[in-house]
Amino acid sequence: MQFQDDTYYIDKVIRGDVNAYSFLVEKHKRMAYTFALKFVKIPEDAEEIAHDAFVKAFQSIKEFRQQCKFTTWLYKIVFNLSVSRLRKKQLDVSSIHDNKFSSFDVAESENLFNTLTDKEQSIIVRKAIDKLPDDERAVITLFYLNECSVKEITDITGYSEANVKIKLFRARKRLWEMLRFLYQDQNVKV
């Protein structure tokens, strides 16, 4: 299905054509669900968060300032709902301490990783991303998988630009370290 620009549908909704909102939902539902799933890791919860995000966006569509993209605004809503859900459930987050990076060697990790097939690489990267702390997982997902700029990530998360860059740096280091361990310690059991 070929979609119009988001502003086309937003303008129609604001003018009273509520059915136009269904095109925005259809266009962005997978993105909202996938982003929520990166946080909560439970498909049913991710579906509920995505649904709630679209309801909340619809209820606030008249306040939407088109200074940012609709997707940035929607990501922010999904992000906030996901964080709220995690706080309610008080999930334990496992993290990797920074002192484990003393032997960090990107070139070595890259060489090990490049011996895998694309499918194996994809599976291993997804597993590693899922093990990141929530804030770093969000930033990495937004930057690499959803191709958001640092500015858009600051708008979505409320983190400062410097904080986003630090989280990206730390997340990259953690990912490379995890990928190296996954490769060496488990002989890449996919």
In DSSP notation, 34-89 reads HHHHHHH--HHHHHHHHHHHHHHHHHTGGG--TTS-HHHHHHHHHHHHHHHHHHHH
Asked if residue 75 has pLDDT above 60, the reply is: yes
Instruction: Choose the weakest-confidence range: 6-10, 54-58, 83-87, 186-190.
Output: 186-190
133-170 tens-digit pLDDT: 888 988 998 998 888 899 999 999 999 999 999 999 99
For residue 116, the model assigns a pLDDT of: 60
91-109 tens-digit pLDDT: 444 444 444 444 444 444 4
Asked if residue 47 has pLDDT above 90, the reply is: yes
**Residue ranges of domains in the chain, CATH in brackets:** 6-89 (1.10.1740.10), 98-186 (1.10.10.10)
For residue 95, the model assigns a pLDDT of: 44
Say which residue the tokens 């990166």 belong to. Answer: 38
Whether the Cβ atoms of residue 161 and residue 95 lie closer than 8 Å to each other: no
